[in-house]
């Protein structure tokens, strides 16, 4: 049986058969300076916030589904990879949010808006998302006005070869708000974003 360690500078944690909760227990008993925990990458060791952003995650099922659609169809994803991406996601959200928040404060505003987010993305190295996101936002606004019947958009144009378009292209759920104000949700299957003339409603019971 081999023991796998997480190397954090010079601190070691024993893992393998010891799962989540007992990891930290093992950690403290093995090292001299037991201040750093797996999740602690902030400066203040003494400060304990009730709700650290690292502790809130998006549901793993959703995350796993997106991952699965992103890799080639025959590819597999290890369980610990899914869990770890789940944590990375929270980190990413916080990362973007802090940057956006800072800009917001600098401009003496209280509410973070779309521009702040886009600016943060650009600053933090995700500028390749900016154009597709702007496009997405535009389509969203148009769809919300109820003028166009088909929502969803393929945002792969600006992203190079790093993303497949399968996750966007296969399925475009569309909310259609009809003239009398009622809403119908239909599924529109298409291979790329385009207006399909003559197709107003497809009902799947």
Site for another protein, residues 127 to 166, rule: CB under 8 A: 129, 132-133, 136-137, 140, 143-144, 151-153, 155, 159, 162-164
Of 49-78, binders to another protein (CB under 8 A) are 51-54, 56-59, 62-63, 65-67, 69-72, 74-78
Of 76-105, binders to another protein (CB under 8 A) are 76-78, 80-81, 84-85, 87-98, 100-101, 105
Calpha distance 21→42 (Å, rounded): 20
Size of the site for another protein (CB under 8 A): 92
Site string for another protein, 13-42 (x = CB under 8 A): -xx-----------------------x-x-
Does 199 bind another protein (CB under 8 A)? Our answer is: no
Interface residue with another protein, options 112, 131, 146, 190 (CB under 8 A): 112
Question: What phi and psi values does residue 81 have, to the nearest 5 degrees?
Answer: -70, -40
| Residue 58 near residue 92 (C-beta atoms within 8 A) | no
Q: Residue written as tokens 């239909």?
A: 186
| Minimum gap (Å) between residue 79 Cβ and another protein | 9
| The dihedral formed by the CA atoms of 129, 169, 166 and 70, expressed in degrees to the nearest 10 | 40
Calpha distance 118→139 (Å, rounded): 16
Calpha distance 83→50 (Å, rounded): 22
Q: Residue written as tokens 């990891």?
A: 23
| Minimum gap (Å) between residue 33 Cβ and another protein | 14
| Residue 120 near residue 160 (C-beta atoms within 8 A) | no
Does 190 bind another protein (CB under 8 A)? Our answer is: no
């Amino acid at each position: 049986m081999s023991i796998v360690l997480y190397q954090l500078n010079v601190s070691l944690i024993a893992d393998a058969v010891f799962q989540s909760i007992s990891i930290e227990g093992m950690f403290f008993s093995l090292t001299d300076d037991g201040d750093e925990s797996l999740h602690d990458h902030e400066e203040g060791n003494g400060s304990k916030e009730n709700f650290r952003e690292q502790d809130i995650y998006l549901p793993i099922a959703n995350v796993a589904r997106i991952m699965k659609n992103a890799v080639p169809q025959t590819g597999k994803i290890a369980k610990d990879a899914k869990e770890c991406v789940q944590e990375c996601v929270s980190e990413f959200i916080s990362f973007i949010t802090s940057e956006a928040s800072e800009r917001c404060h600098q401009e003496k505003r209280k509410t973070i808006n779309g521009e702040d987010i886009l600016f943060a993305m650009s600053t933090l190295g995700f500028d390749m998302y900016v154009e597709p996101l702007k496009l997405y936002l535009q389509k969203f606004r148009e769809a919300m006005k109820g003028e166009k019947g088909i929502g969803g958009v393929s945002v792969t144009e600006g992203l190079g070869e790093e993303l497949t378009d399968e996750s966007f292209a296969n399925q475009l759920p569309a909310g259609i708000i009809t003239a009398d104000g009622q809403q119908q949700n239909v599924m529109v299957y298409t291979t790329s974003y385009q207006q399909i003339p003559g197709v107003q409603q497809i009902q799947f019971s």
